[in-house]
């Protein structure tokens, strides 16, 4: 298997700097052979990519991009804890929160932005259990927030 960061580079992506938490918590915690990330927002260069509700001001396509950025930020948090993404043996669980209008029901397709990226980066080890949850609002009016649980 190619190194996860080489896989990202082949996609034109890279692990960003760890996003600064917006409150009192740490981006990720290791417990035994697992790393749990805090909810990651779609921050890029210190700012949200976009704000608002999916199905309203935010299109599903923009939400997928946000979900992918959340995944990249989660990978940065994991890397900060374990030192190298090659230490990831398996992505165990993804939880995607999608701030959406009441009539929007495409939360699973938004979460696919995370799932597809992890599959491309980790291959079979990126296949995971997942929840995609619609919520009325997220911190800073972010459209998407993502948590990862990985085995190392």
- The residue range of the domain holding 72 is 4-151
- Per-residue pLDDT for 22 more than 90? no
Write the pLDDT tens digit of every residue in 84-105. Answer: 999 999 999 999 999 999 999 9
> What local confidence, expressed as pLDDT, does residue 65 receive?
98
Cα angle value 108/97/117 (rounded, 5°): 60
* CA–CA distances in Å: residue 132 to residues 4, 21, 24, 28: 24, 22, 25, 20
> What local confidence, expressed as pLDDT, does residue 149 receive?
98
**Residue 1 pLDDT grade (very low, low, confident, very high; cuts 50, 70, 90):** low
The mean of the pLDDT values for the chain is: 97
**Residue 41 pLDDT grade (very low, low, confident, very high; cuts 50, 70, 90):** very high
* CA–CA distances in Å: residue 53 to residues 31, 44, 46, 86, 121: 34, 18, 20, 35, 28
Question: 38 near 147, Cβ under 8 Å?
Answer: yes
- Per-residue pLDDT for 124 more than 70? yes
- Per-residue pLDDT for 146 more than 70? yes
> What local confidence, expressed as pLDDT, does residue 39 receive?
97
> What local confidence, expressed as pLDDT, does residue 73 receive?
98
Place of tokens 């009192």: 24
User: What CATH number corresponds to the domain at position 30?
Assistant: 3.30.1330.40
Percent of the chain with pLDDT over 90: 96
Write the pLDDT tens digit of every residue in 53-77. Answer: 999 999 999 999 999 999 999 999 9
Q: How many domains would you assign to the chain?
A: 1
């Amino acid at each position: 298997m190619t190194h996860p960061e080489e896989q990202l580079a082949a996609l034109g992506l890279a692990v960003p700097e760890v996003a600064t938490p917006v409150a009192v918590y740490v981006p990720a915690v290791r417990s035994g052979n697992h790393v749990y990330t805090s909810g990651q927002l779609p921050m890029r260069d210190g700012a949200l990519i976009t704000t608002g509700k999916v199905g309203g001001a935010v299109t599903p396509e923009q939400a997928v991009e946000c979900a992918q950025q959340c995944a990249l930020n989660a990978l940065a948090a994991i890397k900060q804890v374990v030192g190298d993404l090659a230490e990831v043996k398996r992505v165990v669980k993804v939880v995607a929160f999608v701030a959406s209008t009441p009539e929007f029901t495409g939360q699973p397709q938004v979460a696919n932005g995370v799932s597809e990226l992890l599959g491309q980066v980790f291959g079979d080890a990126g296949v995971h259990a997942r929840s995609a949850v619609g919520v009325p609002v997220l911190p800073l009016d972010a459209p998407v927030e993502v948590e990862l649980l990985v085995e190392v």
